[in-house]
A and B are shown apart, each in its own frame.
Chain A
Amino acid sequence: MADDKRIDAATGTEIKHHEWDGIQELDTPLPRWWLWTFYATILFAIGYMVAYPAWPMIDRATGGLLGWSSRGALDKELAAREQQMAPIRQAIADTSVTVLPHRPQLMQAAIEGGRAAFRVHCVQCHGSGAAGSKGYPNLNDDDWLWGGDLAAIEKTIADGVRNPDHQATRQSLMPAFGKDQLLTAAQVDDVVAHVRAISGQDRANAASRRGAKLFADNCAVCHGPKGAGDRTVGAPNLADAIWLYGGDTDSIHDTVWNSRHGVMPRWDDKLDKVTVRMLAAYVHSLGGGETRPETLTKPGG
Chain B
Amino acid sequence: MLMTGSPSLYEKRKGVYPKAVDGFYRRLKWAVMVVTLAIYWGTPWLRWDRGPYAPDQAVLVDLANRRFYMFSIEIWPHEFYYVAGLLIMAGVGLFLVTSAVGRAWCGYACPQTVWTDLYQHVERFIDGDRNAQVRLANAPWSLPKIVRRLAKWAVWLVIAFLTGGAWIFYFADASTLQQQFWTGTAAPVAYGAVAVLTATTFILGGFMREQVCIYMCPWPRIQTAMLDEKSLVVTYKHWRGEKRGSLKKAQAAPDIYGDCIDCNQCVAVCPTGVDIREGPQIGCITCALCVDACDAVMAQIGKPRGLIDYCTEDDALAEQKGGAPRAVLNTLLRLRTLAYFALWIGVGAAMLFALGVRTRLDISVQQDRNPIFVRLSDGTIRNAYTIKLRNMEARPRRMQVSVTGLANAKMWTDAGSREQASSALTTMVAADSVEKLRVFLLLPSAGPVREDFAFTVRATDREGGGDSEPARFERP
- B414 and A285 form a contact (CB under 8 A): yes
Q: Mark B1-20, 1 if CB is under 8 A from A, else 0.
A: 11000011111110000000
B145 within 8 A of A: no
Q: Mark A103-133, 1 if CB is under 8 A from B, else 0.
A: 0100000000000000000000001111100
Least CB distance from B4 to A in Å reads 12
- B10 and A301 form a contact (CB under 8 A): no
List the B side residues contacting A143 at CB < 8 Å.
Answer: 376-377
**Cα separation A140 to B2 with both chains bound (whole Å):** 75
Q: Mark A19-50, 1 if CB is under 8 A from B, else 0.
A: 00000000101111111000100000000000
B237 within 8 A of A: no
**Cα separation A31 to B213 with both chains bound (whole Å):** 13
Q: Mark A262-301, 1 if CB is under 8 A from B, else 0.
A: 0000000000000000000000010111110000000011
Other-chain residue from A127, A290, A300 in contact with B417 (beta carbon distance below 8 A)? A290
List the A side residues contacting B378 at CB < 8 Å.
Answer: 240-241, 300-301
Residue of B nearest to A287 (CB): B440
B475 within 8 A of A: no
State which size class the interface on B falls in.
Answer: 20 to 34
Other-chain residue from B371, B419, B440 in contact with A129 (beta carbon distance below 8 A)? B371
- A131 and B370 form a contact (CB under 8 A): yes
Other-chain residue from A14, A127, A138, A285 in contact with B7 (beta carbon distance below 8 A)? A14
**In terms of DSSP, what is the predominant structure of the interface of chain B?**
loop
A237 within 8 A of B: yes
Chain A CB count within 10 A is highest, among B11, B208, B419, for B11
10 closest A-B pairs by CB: A129-B370, A131-B371, A240-B377, A29-B11, A241-B379, A301-B378, A140-B374, A143-B377, A35-B10, A129-B371
**Cα separation A101 to B440 with both chains bound (whole Å):** 19
B211 within 8 A of A: yes
- B377 and A138 form a contact (CB under 8 A): no
**Cα separation A288 to B11 with both chains bound (whole Å):** 78
- B377 and A142 form a contact (CB under 8 A): yes
- A33 and B377 form a contact (CB under 8 A): no
Least CB distance from A138 to B in Å reads 7
Least CB distance from B62 to A in Å reads 25
List the B side residues contacting A77 at CB < 8 Å.
Answer: none
**Cα separation A202 to B7 with both chains bound (whole Å):** 102
Least CB distance from A141 to B in Å reads 5
Residue of A nearest to B8 (CB): A29
B289 within 8 A of A: no
- A33 and B371 form a contact (CB under 8 A): no
A242 within 8 A of B: yes
Interface residues in A237-266 by Cβ distance below 8 A to B read 237, 240-242
**Cα separation A131 to B414 with both chains bound (whole Å):** 17
Least CB distance from B264 to A in Å reads 18
Interface residues in B409-425 by Cβ distance below 8 A to A read 414-415, 417-419
**Cα separation A39 to B1 with both chains bound (whole Å):** 10
- A300 and B377 form a contact (CB under 8 A): yes
Least CB distance from B284 to A in Å reads 16
List the B side residues contacting A142 at CB < 8 Å.
Answer: 376-377, 418
- A34 and B377 form a contact (CB under 8 A): no
- A141 and B377 form a contact (CB under 8 A): yes
Least CB distance from A64 to B in Å reads 23
**Cα separation A143 to B377 with both chains bound (whole Å):** 6
- A32 and B371 form a contact (CB under 8 A): no
List the A side residues contacting B371 at CB < 8 Å.
Answer: 127, 129-131, 138, 140
The interface of chain B, by Cβ under 8 A from chain A, is 1-2, 7-13, 208, 211, 215, 368-371, 374-379, 382, 384, 414-415, 417-419, 440
The interface of chain A, by Cβ under 8 A from chain B, is 14, 27, 29-35, 39, 104, 127-131, 138, 140-143, 237, 240-242, 285, 287-291, 300-301
Other-chain residue from B10, B369, B379, B418 in contact with A32 (beta carbon distance below 8 A)? B10
List the B side residues contacting A27 at CB < 8 Å.
Answer: 7
Contacts A14-B7, A142-B377, A240-B377 supplied; 17 other A-B pairs, CB < 8 Å:
A29-B7, A31-B11, A31-B211, A32-B12, A35-B10, A104-B415, A129-B368, A130-B371, A131-B374, A138-B371, A138-B374, A142-B376, A143-B377, A240-B379, A242-B376, A285-B414, A287-B414
**Cα separation A287 to B332 with both chains bound (whole Å):** 69
Residue of A nearest to B278 (CB): A10
Q: List 17 A-B contacts (CB under 8 A).
A: A29-B9, A30-B11, A31-B13, A31-B211, A31-B215, A32-B11, A32-B13, A129-B368, A131-B370, A140-B371, A241-B375, A242-B376, A288-B374, A290-B417, A300-B377, A301-B377, A301-B378
- A141 and B376 form a contact (CB under 8 A): yes
Chain B CB count within 10 A is highest, among A27, A31, A127, for A31
Least CB distance from A104 to B in Å reads 8
**Cα separation A203 to B337 with both chains bound (whole Å):** 84
Least CB distance from B61 to A in Å reads 28
- A31 and B417 form a contact (CB under 8 A): no
List the A side residues contacting B376 at CB < 8 Å.
Answer: 141-143, 241-242, 288
List the A side residues contacting B2 at CB < 8 Å.
Answer: 35
Residue of B nearest to A29 (CB): B11
Least CB distance from B382 to A in Å reads 7
**Cα separation A93 to B375 with both chains bound (whole Å):** 34
Residue of B nearest to A35 (CB): B10
**Cα separation A290 to B208 with both chains bound (whole Å):** 73
List the A side residues contacting B384 at CB < 8 Å.
Answer: 140, 287
Residue of A nearest to B419 (CB): A291
**Cα separation A142 to B208 with both chains bound (whole Å):** 73
Known: A14-B7, A141-B375, A300-B377. A128 touches B370 (CB 8 A): yes
